Amino acid sequence: MAYRWLEFTMADGVATVRLNRPETLNALTDELLLELQDAVKTVERRSEARVLVLTGQGRGFCSGQDLKSFGDNPTQRDIGEHLDRYYHPLIERLSGLSKPSIAMINGVAAGAGMSLALACDFRIAAEEARFSQAFVKIGLVPDSGSSYFLPRLIGISRALEMAMTGKMIDAQTAYAWGLVNRVVPLAQLADETYSWARSLAAGPPIALSLIKRAMWRGSELRLSDALAFEKDSQIRAARTEDHQNAVKAFFEKRTPEFRGQ
């Protein structure tokens, strides 16, 4: 697919997807959402893409749904059908990506734009970043996975606070609450993010994928089932060439090279 509303680049094993509607703080339209679905699918499919970085062009990460794109009567649109077609496949693909994903949050992340960041594995924010579950401001409830991810990251009480008030929180508050992994000056945001991304890209792809699955499954299973899932994952990891070569490199006192085999 040729992209009009996002930029897709690849370097050093890192695929960067950059929303490109800066005049609207990268508000989401049907066309952009379909392009995002395709871009995430492409990252999953391409073996040279080991890590995804998701970010926005200009001053914002993503301001959420562009209500103006619905036309003169936005309340007449079938919102359930819209979620099923445009948002749910995207969130499932993004959160279910077998490779690490990082949201590089350069500015405001509001509504469904915040949902996109929540669906990534890591969130690195500029000091200027702001976060809002803005749905309540127009009489709606959190969607696009926010009700799933947010309580798991910051706890039910703070999730309710954000969802019921719709208030904007700053990057330092987001860090203190566990919503983001790092906060850095805007001028250092790209360097910090791509340092993380390159480090992950140099890691063992199969093990990283298994770790991601095990952590999410483990958070939803009882202990005995989590232990069994861990065991199965460990057996698979131990059979990889990456593991065998890494053990050999350990004893030879050299840095291992992981090939995803």
* CATH code of the domain in which 171 resides: 3.90.226.10
Contact 26, 113 (CB under 8 A): yes
Per residue in 35-91, pLDDT (tens digit) is 999 999 999 999 999 999 999 999 999 999 998 887 767 676 889 999 999 999 999
User: What is the model's pLDDT at position 32?
Assistant: 98
Domain that holds residue 164: 6-201
1 in a structural domain: no
User: What is the model's pLDDT at position 67?
Assistant: 86
Based on the domain organization, do 128 and 48 belong to the same domain?
yes
Based on the domain organization, do 100 and 185 belong to the same domain?
yes
258 in a structural domain: no
Domain boundary among 201, 216, 236: 201
Rounded Cα–Cα distance for residues 103 and 180 (Å): 9
260 in a structural domain: no
Residue with the bigger pLDDT between 2 and 61: it is 61
Based on the domain organization, do 59 and 90 belong to the same domain?
yes
Length of the chain: 261
Based on the domain organization, do 153 and 242 belong to the same domain?
no
User: What is the model's pLDDT at position 72?
Assistant: 67
Closest CA to 67 of 137, 169, 167: 137
243 is catalytic: no
Based on the domain organization, do 184 and 102 belong to the same domain?
yes
User: What is the model's pLDDT at position 145?
Assistant: 97
259 in a structural domain: no
Rounded Cα–Cα distance for residues 10 and 213 (Å): 25
Strands, E, within 3-79: which ranges?
A: 6-11, 14-19, 51-56
Instruction: Indicate which residue of 66, 121, 143, 242 is catalytic.
Output: 143
Per residue in 212-254, pLDDT (tens digit) is 999 999 989 999 999 999 999 999 999 998 999 898 888 888 8
Based on the domain organization, do 107 and 37 belong to the same domain?
yes
Count the Cβ atoms, other than its own, within 10 Å of residue 256: 18
Based on the domain organization, do 157 and 239 belong to the same domain?
no
121 is catalytic: no
User: What is the model's pLDDT at position 74?
Assistant: 67
10 in a structural domain: yes
Based on the domain organization, do 166 and 62 belong to the same domain?
yes
What are the Cα distances from residue 151, in Å, to 86, 147, 226?
Answer: 23, 7, 21
Instruction: Indicate which residue of 30, 38, 82, 88 is catalytic.
Output: 88
Contact 206, 236 (CB under 8 A): yes
Q: What is the pTM for the complete model shown?
A: 0.94
257 in a structural domain: no
261 in a structural domain: no
Based on the domain organization, do 12 and 99 belong to the same domain?
yes
pLDDT at residue 155 above 80?
A: yes
Domain boundary among 201, 223, 242: 201
- DSSP letter, residue 70: G
Based on the domain organization, do 79 and 179 belong to the same domain?
yes
Q: Considering only CA atoms, give the Rg of the chain.
A: 19
What are the Cα distances from residue 129, in Å, to 19, 168, 230?
Answer: 16, 10, 36
234 in a structural domain: yes
Q: For the domain that residue 225 is a member of, what is the CATH number?
A: 1.10.12
Per residue in 12-35, pLDDT (tens digit) is 999 999 999 999 999 999 999 999
**Counted domains in the chain:** 2
Based on the domain organization, do 132 and 241 belong to the same domain?
no
Rounded Cα–Cα distance for residues 61 and 57 (Å): 7
User: What is the model's pLDDT at position 253?
Assistant: 86
Based on the domain organization, do 179 and 246 belong to the same domain?
no
Indicate the average pLDDT of the chain. Answer: 95
pLDDT at residue 159 above 80?
A: yes
